[in-house]
Amino acid sequence: DTGVSQDPRHKITKRGQNVTFRCDPISEHNRLYWYRQTLGQGPEFLTYFQNEAQLEKSRLLSDRFSAERPKGSFSTLEIQRTEQGDSAMYLCAGGGQKNNEQFFGPGTRLTVL
């Protein structure tokens, strides 16, 4: 158990609906990452926060995606107007200042019908 939790663990939604996922890293994690993983592929980087500042966003993060980390603790990832291609596992990872070791949560599996 890495101490990183994600909620919900599973989400089924209809195309066009908005969804929001939450990630709670441990308090020592000033770095927070979001990744997306589709079946048979490795995780793909989406975005990175240093405390509350969003410092990097992947080109994969279209304008339908938005992420926040308002107080430098938990983070949310929102997808607006979901499409079937958004179906994937969304992973959150926390990290401290020590090198690049990242601690992943269990993920949220999104299915868009």
Residues that bind another protein (CB under 8 A): 2, 4, 31, 33, 35, 41-45, 48, 50, 55-56, 91, 93, 95, 99-107
By beta-carbon proximity to another protein, the closer residue of 20 and 31 is 31
By beta-carbon proximity to another protein, the closer residue of 44 and 80 is 44
- What are 78's two structure tokens? 């929102």
The DSSP result for 8-42, as a single string, is -SEEEE-TT--EEEEEE--TT--EEEEEEE-TTS-
Q: Nearest approach, Cβ of 67 to another protein (angstroms)? A: 14
DSSP state of 57: E
By beta-carbon proximity to another protein, the closer residue of 63 and 101 is 101
Q: Nearest approach, Cβ of 17 to another protein (angstroms)? A: 24
- What are 38's two structure tokens? 């589709």
By beta-carbon proximity to another protein, the closer residue of 88 and 91 is 91
3-state secondary structure of 47: strand
* Parallel/antiparallel/unpaired status of strands 19-24 and 5-7: antiparallel
